[in-house]
Amino acid sequence: MGRATGQSSSPEFEVIVEKDFVVPARDGTELATDLFRPAVDGKVVDDPLPVLMCRTPYGKARWFDEGMFLARHGYVVAIQDWRQTQGDFDTKQFRPKHEATDGYDAIEWFAAQPWCDGKVGMWGHSAMGQTIQGVLAVQPPSLASAYIIDSGLNYGSYPARMNGAFGLAFRLRHSLFMAQLLERDPNTKRTLRDAYDHPEKYFSIFSRPHAPLTRGTTVLSLSPQYEDRYLRTATTADLDDPFWKDSGKSDEELILEWKDIPICFLSGWYGNHLTANVDKFRILTERAEGPTRLIVGHWEHNMLATFAGGVDFGDNATMDIFGDRRVEWFDQTLKGIDTGVLDRPTIEYFVMGGGDGKVNADGRLNHGGHWVAADSWPPANVEAVPYYLHGDMTLRPSLPDEADASTTYTFDPRDPVPTVGGNFMEYSRPDFSSRVTWMADGAAQDQRANASKPFCRDNLPLATREDVLVFQTEPLEENVEVSGELLARLWVSSTAPDTDFTVKLIDVHPPSPSFPEGFAMNLQDAVVRMRYRNGRRKPELITPGEIYEIELPFHSTSNLFVKGHRIRFDVSSSNFPRIDVNLNTGGPLGLPGPVHPADNTIHHDKDHPSQVVLPVAKPTVS
């Protein structure tokens, strides 16, 4: 499914670059822009062409190669800095001020130039895609197409927070990265850069995970705007708080105001914003007339390689989303060239699994996979099948018959379960542009600790910890494909007035010569902070000892559990440093306070049938 059947434009043009080109905003602010103009024989093309625009907080110079690539295909390309890069900060809300209006003004300015044919398209990855979405809500007349790569919807839901819990590592890394990137003073910049590379020297949370950051006590105070942004995110869990809204509206409200144009969303099973892209696709498919497409691969947030973390998915996983696919999309929707891109099914997704399970030359597990198509998510051939937790720690489709069965573990905030894999990048990769070695290993990983990380105490499998409950099937007698949304429905109690429960779905490869102890590959995980068990708009503490039924929605996934593998479901109460540690006291979030271990219980008897609901489809490979 990598290429279109139609004919797209070829890279036939030379490119003339004009750096630091100025585009005026409505209030007179000059928006710094690098402009890439297609040229022939050293002269810019006279004929009006579509403009492709990308707005970035990370410095426009980083996207030089993309500007050159797209301009060679016959587009005027504008890469523009956010105002934020010029020191215009406003931390009263999570989303940057002026983003929507600056994007609107730039689009209409470009459309009015004689070298533009009146059509402007936008592309963006992550924060740059967030910019597109803000612009869509103000409906600039000349915006005609969008290509949005793994960008969120409501950042107050994920990854900044997840069911009330704070995405600590993600926000700390990003705050340090942006603070050092935009700092002007060279001495301060060096200090912030050292803190980005070696935060364990500057932040006590690496030795005391239960001790939240406080204002003015860490190196982050050298960048007051990013310290404030971090602390507001850490302490603001209520989704109705103005911090999470733009002009008084939530992102879910703003999407209903988006301009109706062709939009392609892209994400990965280990992407930062997977659920957001599925949600956006659904909402627009229901209300928009313009074509909406969704592509989901095996990828993590970078979306570049055939691997994600410690697992490789094979050459079948390749799709050139930054090259051919992007050109085909804009050629069809801006130039009117029939590339065949709109003839494809509305969803293309990658089913992971089916590989030989051996180790490859790079030390990664060969998990394999293949692309399939659908017109809805979850796919039409999927049935929701509950797998129940049993007292013998098995996971089975049959209901438990025990009259009284439960499993209790002690969650100590001073010794949390370390993060191993998940919906974030593998930041320690040598080829990653803003590499750090202290972050947890992201994406797909064997579920064992890594003592080289400052928050791991050993190299043992997480399953050996007493505060990790492992429920798993017997080795499968036939293939089981799981494609769709995941849901955990648990009956729980605690000795604390507030605590967390975490869950994780895992594909267990059996022992082999390549992996003598087997390989427990994480698929998806989730967390709920109990005070937000009924939603993020009404926190309610729990009564110690009382049993509660809770639901934890996962991200989606698509994975083929091969015959001989096991389906595993882990339950615990921490995932640090990806998620901040609950102090179990019911006190204010994100602030220092007393710490109490909690005895947390999972009930799994016939009256309390705890379960994970899997979207089971007919296997597509044997």
| pLDDT tens, residue by residue, 407-431 | 999 999 999 999 999 999 888 887 7
pLDDT at 299 > cutoff 60: yes
- Work out the mean pLDDT of the chain and round it to a whole number: 93
| DSSP line for 135-198 | HHHH--TTEEEEEEES--S-TTTTTSEETTEE-HHHHHHHHHHHHHHH--SHHHHHHHHHHHH-
Overall average pLDDT of the 344-370 stretch: 97
Measured CA to CA in angstroms, residue 132 lies from 56, 116, 247 at distances of 10, 19, 17
User: Could you report the per-residue pLDDT of 103-112, keeping only the tens digit for each?
Assistant: 999 999 999 9
Query: Among 79-93, 141-155, 447-461, which stretch is predicted with the lowest mean pLDDT?
Result: 79-93
Confidence at 567, pLDDT banded by 50, 70, 90: very high
Share of the chain above pLDDT 70, in %: 97
Predicted confidence at residue 5, as pLDDT, reads: 43
Cβ neighbours of residue 103 under 8 Å, at least 6 residues apart? Answer: 53, 55, 122, 131, 132, 134, 135, 138, 140
Predicted confidence at residue 243, as pLDDT, reads: 86
Confidence at 87, pLDDT banded by 50, 70, 90: low
SS (H, E, C) 551-592: EEEEEEEEEEECCCCEEEEEEECCCECCCCCCCCCCCCCCCC
Answer whether 205's CB lies under 8 Å from 108's CB.
no
pLDDT at 537 > cutoff 50: yes
User: Could you report the per-residue pLDDT of 477-523, keeping only the tens digit for each?
Assistant: 999 999 999 999 999 999 999 999 999 999 999 999 999 999 999 99
Beta-strand pair 611-617/469-472: unpaired
pLDDT at 622 > cutoff 50: no
Specify the DSSP class assigned to residue 329.
Answer: H
**Tokens 């364990």 belong to which residue?**
200
Report yes or no on whether pTM surpasses 0.85: yes
Query: Which stretches of 421-559 are DSSP H helices?
Result: none
**Tokens 């497409």 belong to which residue?**
293
Predicted confidence at residue 455, as pLDDT, reads: 86
Predicted confidence at residue 89, as pLDDT, reads: 66
pLDDT at 9 > cutoff 90: no
Share of the chain above pLDDT 90, in %: 84
Answer whether 459's CB lies under 8 Å from 451's CB.
yes
Q: How far apart are CA 556 and CA 550, in angstroms?
A: 19
Helix then strand count (H, E) for the chain reads: 9, 27
pLDDT at 137 > cutoff 80: yes
Measured between alpha carbons, how far apart are the two ends of the chain, in Å?
A: 20
Predicted confidence at residue 7, as pLDDT, reads: 65
Pick from 378, 100, 140: nearest CA to 251: 100
User: Could you report the per-residue pLDDT of 362-389, keeping only the tens digit for each?
Assistant: 999 999 999 999 999 999 999 999 999 9
Joined together, the tokens standing for residue 184 give 């002007």
Predicted confidence at residue 4, as pLDDT, reads: 38
Pick from 38, 79, 45, 87: nearest CA to 62: 79
Predicted confidence at residue 280, as pLDDT, reads: 96
Query: Among 90-104, 260-274, 307-321, which stretch is predicted with the lowest mean pLDDT?
Result: 90-104
Q: How far apart are CA 570 and CA 22, in angstroms?
A: 54
Overall average pLDDT of the 79-105 stretch: 83
Predicted confidence at residue 620, as pLDDT, reads: 52
Answer whether 506's CB lies under 8 Å from 462's CB.
no
| DSSP line for 430-448 | TT-TT--SSSPP-BB-BSB
